[in-house]
Amino acid sequence: MSDDFNLQESLLSLSDLSLYHIPAEVDIPSQRTSTVDESLSSAIESIVHDPESIVHSQPSTFDVFQSILKYSDSPNITGPILTKLLDVILSSLTSHSNAVSGLVGSQGFQTDDIDAPMVHKQPLEMWAFLLQWFITSAERGAGKSDGGVCPTTTSGRGKKKTTNKNTSSSTSFVWIDQIPFVLGTMHRVLRIPSGRIWRTSSEKESFISCFVKPSYQLAENESYLKNQEIKLGIYKVICLSVKFHGHSFGAQTSIIQNLTYFEHFSEPMAELLSILEKEFDFTQLSEEILRDVSTKTFAHNDVKGPRSFSKFLIKLAELSPRVVAKQMPLLLGHLDSDAHPMRMAVVEIIGLLIRDLSLSDEGDEEQKAKQIKKYFELLMERFLDLNSWVRCKVLTTIIKLCDLPAKFPKQRHQITELTIRTLEDKTSSARRYAIQLLCKLLETHPFGALHGGTLNLAEWQERYDKIEAELAKVDAVELERAKRDVGIVDGEDQDDSQEKDDDEEAEAEDEDEEEAEEVEEDVDGEEDVDGEEDGEGTPKPKAVKKEPKTKKKKPRQSQLDITGIQAEQSTLDPELIHKLRLTKKYYSDALKFINQLEGAIPTLCQLLVSTTKTEVLEAMRFFRIAYEYDLQSNEIGIKTMLHLIWTKDNNSTVPAPTTSNEDGNPTGGATEAGATKGIRANLIDCYRSLYFDVVPDLNAKQQVNRIAKNMIERTYGATLAELTSLEELMRTMMAEGGVHYDVVNKLWQVYSTDQEIPKAQRQGAIIILGMLALARREVVTERVESLLKIGLGHFGMHDLVLARYTCIALQRLGGSAKKVKGSLSDKTMRLPMDNPIFLKLQEIIEHSPKSPQWFSMAEQAINTIYLLGEQPDALCSEIIKDLTVKVFEKSSSTQDTIATTPPQDDDENTNTNNKEMQVESATPPPDSQDDRATPPPENEKKDQIGSFKLAQLVFIVGHVAIKHIVYLELVEREFKRRKDETAKQKAAAKAAEKDSNDLDAVAGNAEDDIGELISGIRERELLFGDKSLLAVYGPMIAGICASPKRYKDSSLRQAATLSLTKLMCVSAQFCESHLLLLFKILETSRDPVVRSNIVIALGDIAVCWGSMIDDNSERLYQGLSDPDQIVKKNTLMVLTHLILNGMIKVKGQLGEMAKCLEDKDNRISDLAKLFFTELSTKDNALYNNLQDVISHLSVGQHKVDEDTFERTMRFIFTFIEKDKQAESLVEKLCQRFRLATEERQWRDISFCLSLLPFKSERSMKKLIEGLPFYQDKLHEETVFRRFTEILAKARANKAANKPETELKEFEAILTEHQAKGLEDQALEADVLRKTKAAKRRAAKRPQAGGRGKKAVTPEDNQDEEMEEEAPPALPQRSTRGAAAKAQPKKAPPPPKPRRGGRRKVVESEDEDEEEDE
């Protein structure tokens, strides 16, 4: 029965087991397990006795095996039965394959015995059929019984592998354990020469498919591929089938299908092809698959397919780069694929091929260099890819290439330039990888061979200049020798030109020789270097080479010194000259690389303040590396980095990314946010490693000196913002124990030394000590005597900056504990007024020499008195009286002439503002110059001294007033604390709750009384009390401010204005009476320092007396149009603070603030962006004022140009995110069309409409409803284009299940109205032209009648035509010339012809213009 077995038909029948017919089928479901086992055992026994019985036995043994497999899912089929069946199948296949191999491989095998292996054909097919069927059943879950327990189930693509365990382990069937044996048997079977047994390809394919198809089926289960033994067994089955049995085409089809439908197949299939190439020397399949892949196309929104094929290509390129390189011309077509994963794959493949070429020792070096150059060109092009992931992949690919031994010098400069350009990429990930690549380029630069690797620009420039000078001498000597050889005599005119030609020829020859002998690392010729040097700012060689020509004449031929010539020739070693030229080229390349990095530092500084954490960390890492390589501009980045100390983050326990971290995976990133320290912690580590950590090879004393020196140097040239950030850094390090006490002692030693040291060094020491004392008060408390002796003694008198910072250090004595809101306790330490500290402070305020630094010093001295003194008002009163005596001890005549002379230069930049008064931009105002003759030097000196003393008095009065307010608040708090303690004691004595409540009420009333008392003192006593000292000076200060012509000294006016604003913060009555004066000064003052101070003070006044400023807020906005940038910035800062904190109301003035978004000063534009960003979070504040902003910028005298308007609106509209706001804006903007008369307004409104998201249907509905308002404006090209953009946006946001009927109708309406508008416009122009032509003809008639007694001749017509053509030349004439010509005639023509002629001229011009149009 089995003689009729047909493998192909049987395989087809397996597709539906219920229809599969078995001639002698055993009814397995109705039999017991033991009966089935007996049937199987008897069948196996017959096979053992006669292997051929599977073909000839009756009843068929084969049918028993088929019956068991057909019902393998039946509970009767247990694990032992399946194990027996599998054993007999595998052993039989092994037996027959060994027999065939023995026949074919025996020595006696002759051509006569060619049919001998055919005996085994049918048995092999039958056993192979059973094996495939068994594998299919096992994958489906055969061997699982109802009573069994399934301990392990692994699902894979809808199929299950089940481990079935019964009561004992001996009865279990674990399929995964059997798979390696099954695959091993397949290997042995596939070793037989199939061509000897199966003569037709169809039969052979059917037999091979019995092994290959199960292999692919097993591979579909991802868990199997994780088992190395199973995975390699599957690979070997497929490889043997492809290599020996013609399965190449089938494998190609299967692999492509698997890559399409199974994503986990990507890398395994690449490994399969690699094994096929390396172990079986069969590359044809790989090549065919690559060709097939190169022809595939993917849509831009296809995800699964491109990702699978891209992984496959990358893995194959890693394992078999030579195979991929052969098909690279075809694969490059995917660089234009719409699917970005394919473009990314090709980019990474290019990197792998470059790596393979550079590491390979085989092949022609020149050919490899050409290939590498071509591949790099392709990578450079992808820097401009539209997709950010592709750009990131390019960067990570090049990062990997930088680690190779080859440095690729020819491409390195271009890579650096493109990377620096990518720092401004719009995508954060691309910018991050660009910084990583710059770090890698810096770490792996090829310029460390000669001088150790540092990249200091000045050092390399000096080296370049030296080598340039040496080469200039060599060139000059060679030129002299060339002249002597040809016998040229110097002194003739043509010598110069001949000399120049020889120079160029010699240079060209040297270049040819250099190009022939250069190694691969050198770039193109010397001429290219010169061209690059000109662009990079390096010296031009030509200028040096011309020097020898002008020094002295060359001796004539008869006067030549033969000995000297021979000596010169012996010194010109060709190898040395060639070495010099290569060194020059080396230096030139290094300079170009350094200049590129220096140019990137400003952009990297901007990235330090990025909102993306990973960018900031990478930028910090760059500056850390750049510091080690000694880049000149690196200091700028390190200073900018310091401000990151204020960043709020909590990730401070995980290591920072200080090492190279390029994994080349754009999706994962090079620095994962969760695996790094926070920005603040990373900054502290960075500064500590750069400046404050110990370094090797130094003893303890040197270590301390180095750290102290670095700390002091951080203060050199530091701005106020940098010092504030440095203070927080030092405080944090000191609090964490990061500053050794030996370093503190060294700083005190520098501060206290009696030796002459630079002022900045001593100042830096006390600045740092004051910062450290914030964390530990003991730093200062133990050295108070030194502070008084040095900072407030002799050194302080001559260095007021030192005195100022000494006062700040003294303030740390009171402690730095921050007051808790609502707390009545005061932990500040107070000192008695007889303490030497106050005596020294009074002395330095009253007796220090005249200096512009006095004001900032006095400010801090008064702060110290009020912070530490128990009764600071008493001491300050004494100081004010002493200063008053000094000012007014002169005669009345001197008082009258005070401040009428021009101030000294030192006084013009006086810093007198404790509220960040800006003095750096102050310039002497024009009205400060004295128009009178210069008085005698004695009087001038007296007047200047008197002016400065008055300024000192005024400044002290103002600052004492503002500090006394703070002191009164402390007094109030102390009263409340005492009352609170008393109330608590009484409450503790009373047990009843009611009594306790009564006492609380009494205490509360007492606190209210105290508050009213203190506020009354502040309002009425300080500036208006009979016994108040400050009340004496209020009118005087106001008088100085109100008389700028009399008091012209700039420092006096600055101090008086500042004091006036401080007094206005004390009393509402004083403020109200002088507010108009303050606004007048703000409008009329020419001193930007005064205006800046007033603007800042108005912010403080608004906090104290909000209603006064709210009524005059429009005057505050005037500062936004101030010509001085500092005044403008301060105005914006004050308004930002007041508006965001709700202290003043916005009354339609946001348009001026919106103008600041496009300011040229980055500080102003950044602050404006911050303001609008914060304002957008305040309910509907921005939305409510948006209409006013649009009107302000688009219409009227404040309008801006269209480009500025569009950039501003594009930024502001990003904050309109709510659908309701967008819908309402659509309606309001459409209504604006109704009143818009100018085309500019139409374009602005339509642009604003196009910025809205149109995510909801209601937005589109509102737009369509507003059609009557803008339908007559659609003929304007820009307006129509904006509405087209809106339509496209609406379509993109439309839900997929919504019809487009409404949008299509709207599009048709838009087009219709545009066409109608264009027709109306053309018709109007045509009517106007015809009207003008009719008027012109009417104007000709009376002119012809007036002349008309003679007939009109053709000559007259010709004259009229000439007259019509003449008017365009009339505008070139001078009116004065025409009048001069008209005067001698004395008989003007009649009025009518003149008017007609004039009208004719104008009309003819209009007609000509229309015809031109």
Taking residues 990-1013, what's their average pLDDT? 56
pLDDT above 90: percentage of residues in the chain: 27
pLDDT for residue 202: 80
pLDDT tops 80 at residue 995: no
Check whether 936 has a pLDDT greater than 50. no
- Stretch (H or E) spanning 1137: helix 1125-1140
| Token pair 């620009």 in the structure block, residue | 457
Which pLDDT score is estimated for 57?
Answer: 61
DSSP secondary structure letters along 296-362: ----TT--HHHHHHHHHHHHHHHH-HHHHHHTHHHHGGGGG-SSHHHHHHHHHHHHHHHHHHHH---
Torsion angle of alpha carbons 761, 764, 769, 772, nearest 10°? Answer: -140
- In this prediction, residue 349 carries a pLDDT of 93
| Other Cβ atoms within 10 Å of 41 Cβ, number | 12
pLDDT of residue 818: 57
Q: How confident is the model at residue 662 (pLDDT cuts 50, 70, 90)?
A: very low
- Predicted confidence (pLDDT) at residue 941 exceeds the cutoff of 70: no
Strands 173-174 and 159-165, how do they pair?
Answer: antiparallel
Residue given tokens 């690559």 in the structure block: 290
Lowest mean pLDDT among 777-791, 904-918, 1096-1110: 904-918
pLDDT tops 90 at residue 566: no
- Rounded Cα distance, 1002 and 399, in Å: 75
> Which of 20-24, 155-159, 750-754, 1183-1187 is predicted least confidently?
155-159
Hey, what are 1244's tokens? 């602005």
- Cα separation, 620 vs 626, whole angstroms: 10
Rounded Cα gap, residues 1358 and 1350, in angstroms: 16
Q: What sign results for the dihedral spanned by CA atoms 380, 384, 389, 395?
A: positive
Specify whether the CB–CB gap between 664 and 646 falls below 8 A.
no
pLDDT at site 151: 37
pLDDT of residue 1069: 87
Q: Which helix (H) or strand (E) holds 959?
A: helix 937-989
Mean pLDDT of the chain: 76
Tokens of 1383: 């005067």
What distance in Å separates the CA atoms of residue 367 and residue 365, rounded to the nearest whole number?
A: 5
CA 977, chain centre distance (Å): 52
**In angstroms, rounded to a whole number, what is the distance separating the alpha carbons of residues 1295 and 360?**
55
Give the range with max mean pLDDT: 1209-1213, 1350-1354, 1395-1399: 1209-1213
3-state secondary structure of 173: strand
Residue 1354, pLDDT score: 43
Residue-level pLDDT at 597: 93
> Could you tell me where the beta strands, DSSP code E, fall in 398-448?
none
- 3-state secondary structure (DSSP) of residue 38: helix
Supply 616's token pair.
Answer: 């900031």
Question: What per-residue confidence (pLDDT) applies to 176?
Answer: 80
**Which residue did the predictor score with more confidence, 866 or 888?**
866
CA dihedral 777, 780, 785, 790 (to 10 degrees): -150
The more confident residue out of 109 and 1151 is 1151
pLDDT band at 389 (very low <50, low <70, confident <90, very high): very high
Q: Which residues contact 1135 (CB under 8 A, 6 or more apart)?
A: 1116, 1117, 1120, 1144, 1153, 1171
Sheet bearing 159-165, strands edge to edge = 149-156, 159-165, 173-174
φ/ψ of residue 153, rounded to 5: -135, 120
Distance CA(1132)–CA(1139), nearest Å, equals: 10
pLDDT tens profile 767-811: 999 999 999 989 999 889 999 999 998 898 989 999 999 999 999
Among 61-75, 246-260, 282-296, 812-826, which stretch is predicted with the lowest mean pLDDT? 812-826
When mean pLDDT is compared across 551-565, 755-769, 1058-1072, the lowest value belongs to 551-565
Q: What is the pLDDT of residues 409-429, one digit of tens each?
A: 888 899 999 999 999 999 999
What backbone torsions phi and psi does residue 649 show, to the nearest 5 degrees? -150, 160
The answer to whether residue 27 scores a pLDDT higher than 90 is: no
pLDDT digits (tens, 9 = 90+) for 921-932: 333 333 333 333
Query: How many Å separate Cα 935 from the centre of its chain?
Result: 61
**pLDDT-based confidence at 84, cuts 50/70/90?**
confident
Residue 865 pLDDT:
94
Query: What was the pLDDT predicted at 519?
Result: 33
Tell me if 218 sits within 8 A of 154, measured CB to CB: no
The two three-digit tokens of residue 517, written as one number: 């002998």
Which long-range CB contacts under 8 A does 253-257 form with residues at least 24 apart? 254/212, 254/216, 255/289, 256/289, 256/292, 256/293
Q: What is the pLDDT at residue 1018?
A: 63
- Confidence band of 1007 (pLDDT split at 50, 70, 90): low
Tokens of 827: 């932990």
pLDDT digits (tens, 9 = 90+) for 216-239: 888 888 888 888 888 888 888 888
* Residue 156, SS3 per DSSP: strand
How far is Cα 1084 from Cα 1091, in angstroms, rounded to an integer? 9
> CA–CA separation, 523 vs 1395, rounded Å?
79
Check residue 58 and give its pLDDT. Answer: 56
pLDDT over 50 at 1179, yes or no: yes
Please state the rounded mean pLDDT for residues 155-160. Answer: 38
Q: Average pLDDT for residues 969-997, to the nearest whole number? A: 73
Above 50 in pLDDT, residue 332?
yes
> Which letter does DSSP use for residue 890 in this model?
S
Between 1382 and 316, the more confident residue is: 316
701-707: average pLDDT: 92
The amino acid sitting at 262 is: F
Residue with tokens 């909801």: 1256
Distance of alpha carbon 355 from alpha carbon 345, whole angstroms? 15
For residue 50, what pLDDT band results from cuts at 50, 70 and 90? Answer: low
Which residues, listed in sequence order, are joined to residue 154 by a DSSP beta bridge? Answer: 161
Using CA atoms, how far apart are residues 312 and 286, in angstroms rounded to an integer?
Answer: 11
User: How many percent of the chain have pLDDT more than 70?
Assistant: 74
Q: Of 1037, 867, 833, 1013, which Cα lies nearest the Cα of 953?
A: 1037
Show the DSSP H helices in 799-898 as ranges. Answer: 800-811, 836-847, 854-868, 872-888, 892-896
Q: Write down the pLDDT at residue 4.
A: 63
SS3 889: coil
- What is the pLDDT, as a whole number, of residue 767? 95
Confidence of residue 116 (pLDDT cuts 50, 70, 90): low
- Asked whether residue 94 carries a pLDDT value surpassing 70, the answer given is yes
> For the chain, what is the total number of helices (H) and then of strands (E)?
67, 3
Does the pLDDT of residue 382 top 50, yes or no? yes
Look up residue 588 and give its two tokens.
């030139």
> What is the predicted pLDDT for the residue at 944?
55
Residue 338 has phi, psi (to 5 degrees) of -70, -25
Instruction: Please state whether the predicted TM-score (pTM) of the whole model is above 0.75.
Output: no
Q: What is the pLDDT of residues 507-543, one digit of tens each?
A: 444 444 443 334 333 433 333 433 333 333 333 333 3
> What is the average pLDDT across 704-729?
93
For residues 783 and 770, give the distance between their C-alpha atoms in angstroms, rounded to a whole number: 12
Nearest to 1243 by CA among 1252, 1233, 1253: 1233
Residue of higher predicted confidence among 964 and 924:
964
| Mean pLDDT, rounded, for 263-290 | 86
pLDDT tens per residue, range 442-480 = 999 888 888 888 888 989 999 889 988 888 888 888 788
Cα angle 1404, 1406, 1407; round to 5: 65
Average pLDDT over residues 572-576: 77
Q: What angle do CA 633, 639, 642 make, to 5 degrees?
A: 150
Length of the chain: 1413
What average pLDDT does this structure show over 1198-1225? 90
Task: Please tell me the predicted confidence (pLDDT) of residue 115.
Answer: 62
Q: Which residue has the higher pLDDT, 495 or 1327?
A: 1327
pLDDT digits (tens, 9 = 90+) for 1254-1306: 888 888 888 888 888 888 888 888 888 888 888 888 888 776 666 677 777 88
Q: What is the DSSP string of 533-580?
A: HHHHTPPPHHHHHTHHHHH-PPPPGGG--HHHHHHHHHH--HHHHHHH
Give the per-residue pLDDT at 1348: 43
Residue type, 1159: D
